Structure 1
Amino acid sequence: DIELAFKSHATSKINSTDDLLNIKSYGFRGEALSSIASVSKVTLKSRLSGDSLGNEIKIEGGNVISLQETGTPAGTTVTVEDLFFNIPARKEFIKSSQSEYKAILDIIEAHAIANPKIGLTLINNEKTIYSLPKDHLIEDRVRAILGNDINDKLIPIFFEHPHVEIYGFTGKPELASERKKFQMIFVNKRAIENKSIAFAVKDAYSSLIPKNTYPPYVLFIDVQPNIVDVNVHPRKEEVKFSNEQLIFTSVRTAVKTALDRTNLVPGSENKNPFSNDPFSPNPMASAFGGFNPSSQMPPRPFGSQPRPFARPMSPQKPANSFWDSPFDEATTTFSNRKVYQFHNLYLVTETESGIMIYDQHAVHERILYEKLKNKNAEINKDESVQKLLQPIVINLSAKESVTLEEFSEDLKAQGIEIEEFGPNTYKIIQVPASMASKNVKDIFHEILEDLENDKEIKSADNKTEKILTYLSCRMAYKSGDNIPNEEAAALIDQLEQTEIKYTCPHGRPVKVEITLKELSKMFKRT
């Protein structure tokens, strides 16, 4: 059957139109081998376990070059080389090696998580990226793909309904990101994209995460084949359910229930989600085995007391070092201006002509950016970097490792020195002095995410400016941070000394003034 397998539709799983309503395999049209063989050089070797010899077929551009007996291990091996060798015009559309490699990682990682019972090895440029054993537990496979650093921040999900079963993991709110990172949906173990399911997951978090952030999750949805149509997208990346509302409600309920039974306090020492629960009357043999939804803990109380709409901020002595506070004591004269903080987000001061409103994050980001830029010339003099007494070990995903390798020299130029410490594991041994007193691991993950997505930055024409922009953004005060009065006043004073005091490095406004004239008009005063 080796030669026949490369004929178009020869391996189709469809014998009648009824089979289209009961698809259980990934492919079903029988076009994969035929298609790939038509645009590449393919070698296929196969041997039955009881035979002494196997067979080998070589095909180039759809034409059989040779078919002969050969010695080969039991099983089947397919080797694809020189993709698009016979279609130069198509080859021109191939992107950079890094972009194509990341696309390959997306496919490999999706299949690896969906099929933990199958062993998988990925080698790139003679470097082993993944060596995943067969018969993996789902949780072990997820850990291997997503990395150990989020290991204790994943929440197991399990939900049963007569027509649908949902299981997997979702991230604690602190993992929510502005980008849709590590969001995987599998329907009958087929990786898909579905806006309704993604919205159901986010809706389950409600106010637990900011509006424009998204949680990571690995979600498996198992349904009967006859209630899902996988034949609605050319690459089968989308599906259509016969009852979309049932799926939406089930996913939302599954995720919300998992969140309600979990301690979601950031930084709390939660038990490893992949281990047995000693407090459960029915401990899990794995994250899913033997899980009893009826034995879940009662929903956690959440919510907080509303804070005042606005308040003058209490004075507090600034830190002893510039890098421990947002201002430079050597150059900043502390003013006596009154500063009000609104919703731990904006700073408001009085001006001669009205009031000035500052975005606290944008202000601090601009100040840090110019400080880092000015200090950049001193990096090689060891005047603005700090060696870590205890190196910080970080575990990255394969995709993050690719980004790190791409930007490692650029990061080193900014004072961030890293050493390899194992597969997808690294040691941070040196950081800029401005970063040493902060959560280095979290900032580093965020910078890699920024570089990986490479969001547009105005006026950033090279990698150095991009990295400085990301560093300043990740180290600056965030919305929700309470800033002591003297530091807030110093922030505003320091902003006036910056080269560009109207926008942050991303180009967003730093401050807005509302004049007395505009206020009078609003209140209809004459």
Structure 2
Amino acid sequence: MGRLKRLSPSLINLIAAGEVIERPAAVVKELLENALDAQAQHIKIQLKKAGKALIKVEDNGIGILPEDLPLVIQRYTTSKISEPEDLFHIHTLGFRGEALASIAGISKLHLASRVPNYPWGKEILVIGGEIKEEREIGMPIGTMVEVKDLFFNTPVRLKFLKKDATELGHIYETVVRLGLAHSQVHFLLKSENRILLNLPPANNLVERISQIFGLKLAQKLKQREEEKNDIKIKCFIAPLEFSRPTTRDMYFYVNNRWIRSPFLNQVVYKTLEDIWPKGRYPLLVVFIQLPPEEIDVNVHPTKQEVRFKEPYIVQEVLGIAIKQALGESLFQEETLEGDIPLYPSINKDTGKISSQVKNFSSVYPQKMPMAEVEEIPFRVLGQLWGTYILCEVPEGLMLIDQHAAHERLNYEKIKSLYENGPSHSQELLTSVLLEVSPLEASLLEEILPHLQKLGFVLEPFGEFSFVIRSVPSFLVQRDVRKILENVLKDLYLLSKTSTLSDIVPSLLKSMACHASIKAHDVLTEMEMVSLLK
């Protein structure tokens, strides 16, 4: 008797499900794509225990015919393709016929649907891939899918899931990705009856970006459209002040399908490397439209990777779009001699002295007495662009980045506080209210012990609010609400790929960064000398 044997259908389904469904967010993605392919205009997602106990998706799409309902949980059944050639003319988000079969194989699935012109709908109950119940029901037009007890028959998979806050973050990001591509659709995401995200139908993408990332960012958004051959690219990019510590907010879409693309990431890096600080990444939304036959979307079961037939044209057009959106002048080479007058110059029209150097005592006509700065081996001359401190040293002139210098000092101070405990924690005369998103609230609760080690005292105040009672003494004069808001945004992005222990060093670095003076902050002479001592 041979040693080889054919696997059972149920075991095949469990193995195949691992390629498509690796966490609750993957379930949400597949169900939302089905709803969008069904032309839904309103989609509601409800979660319990970050999707591990329940994922419920309701839509008002065209529904599933009663006779097709038992077939949708069978692998490789789909209405979207029928011939091999169809793989090169994909116009829908789903097409492989694997998603519902994979979900049904590792959960307890309740599926109900009704199509227009039918007086009733139909529902089925599926456990572990087997239909246990089937009946007609009254319901509105559309589809409802309930996924309960995800991975109940593959418990080892549950052990690899992260904390609820992390899994919620992945689901939230999934809804954002699809929400950006379908701004006319209403998305409502709830967890344990709390609204995590509510995106009403938007008139355009800028309005949808405003709903997700805020009005201030949307108002400063730069956009550009470029085209070459049959490739059209629409680029939306936020300026440097809204940069991120990770690439998580770089969104790429090909024919309205969100994709992961190291290739496109590299195009952005190369385009921005000369003008963007290292370690900071733009908030970027890019839509690439091209004929379906020019790409291959059947690369991976998750349908999140594509191959371009002409990648170098895509690279060229995207690079041009980014440069034109931000302004071509930013990418032109600059020289010190031509652009930075280190000494005052005479305006030919007015005859008045002008200079880009912020200086003191009427452009320092007399030398500053060295006794006043005897603690340091250089003399402060002025400030360039509100960003660099210009100093005279024995060897010549020195430019010091005021933000980097202050950030380094703050980092050493914050690191010492964390390791040795706060020597001075200042109670605020007036408590400060900090309001955060539901996901940031979960993250804040996790890092509270670490903030306490720095000298912060925060208390819950309502569902998604905290009261700041005390702060480290060196932050008393700073905007602590804004500092913590920015730190939480940085850590939330990092938490999707890191454990809490990995986040602690990032917490200290982010706190130091946001507690420091910024570029374009105008400093007095005394402030500059104090910083450099």
Q: Into which bin does the TM-score normalised by the smaller protein fall?
A: 0.5 to 0.7
Percent identical residues: 27
Distance (Å, rounded) in 2 between the aligned partners of 1:442 and 1:208: 26
Q: 1:108 corresponds to which residue?
A: 175
The counterpart of 1:76, out of the listed 143, 146, 162, is 143
Structure 1: any 5+ residue segments left out of the alignment?
Answer: 265-298, 317-332, 351-356, 494-526
How far apart are 1:152 and its partner, in Å?
A: 2.4
Distance (Å, rounded) in 2 between the aligned partners of 1:237 and 1:489: 53
The counterpart of 1:229, out of the listed 272, 275, 296, is 296
- Are 2:405 and 1:360 equivalent residues in the alignment? yes
Counting only pairs closer than 5 Å after superposition, residues 240-255 of structure 1 correspond to structure 2 as 240-255=307-322
Q: Do 1:43 and 1:78's aligned partners in 2 also have CA atoms closer than 8 Å?
A: yes
Q: 2:31 corresponds to which residue?
A: none
Matched residue type, 2:134: L
Greater share of helix:
2
Q: Do 2:456 and 2:468's aligned partners in 1 also have CA atoms closer than 8 Å?
A: no
Matched residue type, 1:210: P
Q: Do 2:233 and 2:321's aligned partners in 1 also have CA atoms closer than 8 Å?
A: yes
What is the CA deviation profile of residues 448-480 of structure 1, one whole-angstrom value per residue up to 9, with x for unaligned ones? 14433569xxxx989998755543343235689
More moved, 48-57 vs 74-83? 48-57
What is the CA deviation profile of residues 277-324 of structure 1, one whole-angstrom value per residue up to 9, with x for unaligned ones? xxxxxxxxxxxxxxxxxxxxxx99998824769xxx9899xxxxxxxx
The counterpart of 1:256, out of the listed 320, 323, 326, is 323
Give the TM-score normalised by structure 1: 0.67
- Are 2:339 and 1:305 equivalent residues in the alignment? yes
DSSP 3-state at the match of 1:376: coil
Given the superposition, is the C-alpha separation of residues 156 and 256 from structure 1 closer, same or farther in structure 2, using an over 3 Å criterion? Answer: same
How far apart are 1:247 and its partner, in Å?
A: 0.6
Distance (Å, rounded) in 1 between the aligned partners of 2:374 and 2:187: 63
Given the superposition, is the C-alpha separation of residues 393 and 484 from structure 1 closer, same or farther in structure 2, using an over 3 Å criterion? Answer: same
Distance (Å, rounded) in 1 between the aligned partners of 2:279 and 2:485: 19
Given the superposition, is the C-alpha separation of residues 418 and 173 from structure 1 closer, same or farther in structure 2, using an over 3 Å criterion? Answer: farther
Q: 1:88 corresponds to which residue?
A: 155
Given the superposition, is the C-alpha separation of residues 127 and 17 from structure 1 closer, same or farther in structure 2, using an over 3 Å criterion? Answer: same
Q: 1:448 corresponds to which residue?
A: 488
How far apart are 1:161 and its partner, in Å?
A: 3.6
Distance (Å, rounded) in 1 between the aligned partners of 2:303 and 2:112: 28
Q: 1:506 corresponds to which residue?
A: none
DSSP 3-state at the match of 2:110: strand
Q: 2:62 corresponds to which residue?
A: none
What is the CA deviation profile of residues 10-68 of structure 1, one whole-angstrom value per residue up to 9, with x for unaligned ones? 11533222111111111211011111001001111112232322111000000111001
Q: Do 1:39 and 1:85's aligned partners in 2 also have CA atoms closer than 8 Å?
A: yes
The counterpart of 1:338, out of the listed 362, 367, 377, is 377
Distance (Å, rounded) in 2 between the aligned partners of 1:145 and 1:48: 32
DSSP 3-state at the match of 1:142: helix
How far apart are 1:419 and its partner, in Å?
A: 7.8
Q: Do 1:40 and 1:83's aligned partners in 2 also have CA atoms closer than 8 Å?
A: yes
Matched residue type, 2:159: E
Counting only pairs closer than 5 Å after superposition, residues 274-285 of structure 1 correspond to structure 2 as none
Counting only pairs closer than 5 Å after superposition, residues 363-402 of structure 1 correspond to structure 2 as 363-366=408-411, 368-369=413-414, 376=422, 378-379=424-425, 382=427, 385=428, 387=430, 399-400=439-440, 402=442
More moved, 81-90 vs 13-22? 13-22
Distance (Å, rounded) in 1 between the aligned partners of 2:466 and 2:325: 32
Q: Do 1:387 and 1:430's aligned partners in 2 also have CA atoms closer than 8 Å?
A: no
Given the superposition, is the C-alpha separation of residues 249 and 241 from structure 1 closer, same or farther in structure 2, using an over 3 Å criterion? Answer: same
Q: 2:305 corresponds to which residue?
A: 238
Q: 1:157 corresponds to which residue?
A: 224
DSSP 3-state at the match of 1:59: strand
How far apart are 1:203 and its partner, in Å?
A: 3.9
Q: Do 2:196 and 2:437's aligned partners in 1 also have CA atoms closer than 8 Å?
A: no
How far apart are 1:347 and its partner, in Å?
A: 8.9
How far apart are 1:107 and its partner, in Å?
A: 1.2
- Are 2:234 and 1:200 equivalent residues in the alignment? no
DSSP 3-state at the match of 1:160: strand
Given the superposition, is the C-alpha separation of residues 40 and 58 from structure 1 closer, same or farther in structure 2, using an over 3 Å criterion? Answer: same
What is the CA deviation profile of residues 485-524 of structure 1, one whole-angstrom value per residue up to 9, with x for unaligned ones? 765665576xxxxxxxxxxxxxxxxxxxxxxxxxxxxxxx
The two structures, once aligned, show a CA RMSD in angstroms of 4.5
Q: 2:210 corresponds to which residue?
A: 143
Given the superposition, is the C-alpha separation of residues 144 and 490 from structure 1 closer, same or farther in structure 2, using an over 3 Å criterion? Answer: closer
How far apart are 1:134 and its partner, in Å?
A: 3.8
The counterpart of 1:403, out of the listed 443, 446, 458, is 443
How far apart are 1:184 and its partner, in Å?
A: 0.6
Q: 1:474 corresponds to which residue?
A: 514
DSSP 3-state at the match of 2:72: helix
Q: 2:254 corresponds to which residue?
A: 187
Distance (Å, rounded) in 2 between the aligned partners of 1:476 and 1:484: 16
DSSP 3-state at the match of 2:339: coil
Distance (Å, rounded) in 2 between the aligned partners of 1:209 and 1:431: 32
Distance (Å, rounded) in 1 between the aligned partners of 2:279 and 2:507: 23
Structure 2: any 5+ residue segments left out of the alignment?
Answer: 1-67, 344-357, 362-371, 395-399
Given the superposition, is the C-alpha separation of residues 234 and 8 from structure 1 closer, same or farther in structure 2, using an over 3 Å criterion? Answer: closer
DSSP 3-state at the match of 1:207: coil
DSSP 3-state at the match of 1:106: helix
Q: 1:42 corresponds to which residue?
A: 109
How far apart are 1:400 and its partner, in Å?
A: 4.2
Give the TM-score normalised by structure 2: 0.66
Given the superposition, is the C-alpha separation of residues 100 and 89 from structure 1 closer, same or farther in structure 2, using an over 3 Å criterion? Answer: same
Distance (Å, rounded) in 2 between the aligned partners of 1:77 and 1:121: 14
The counterpart of 2:93, out of the listed 8, 11, 26, is 26
Matched residue type, 1:387: T
DSSP 3-state at the match of 2:112: strand
How far apart are 1:411 and its partner, in Å?
A: 4.8
Distance (Å, rounded) in 2 between the aligned partners of 1:170 and 1:444: 25
Q: Do 2:235 and 2:322's aligned partners in 1 also have CA atoms closer than 8 Å?
A: no
Given the superposition, is the C-alpha separation of residues 369 and 121 from structure 1 closer, same or farther in structure 2, using an over 3 Å criterion? Answer: same
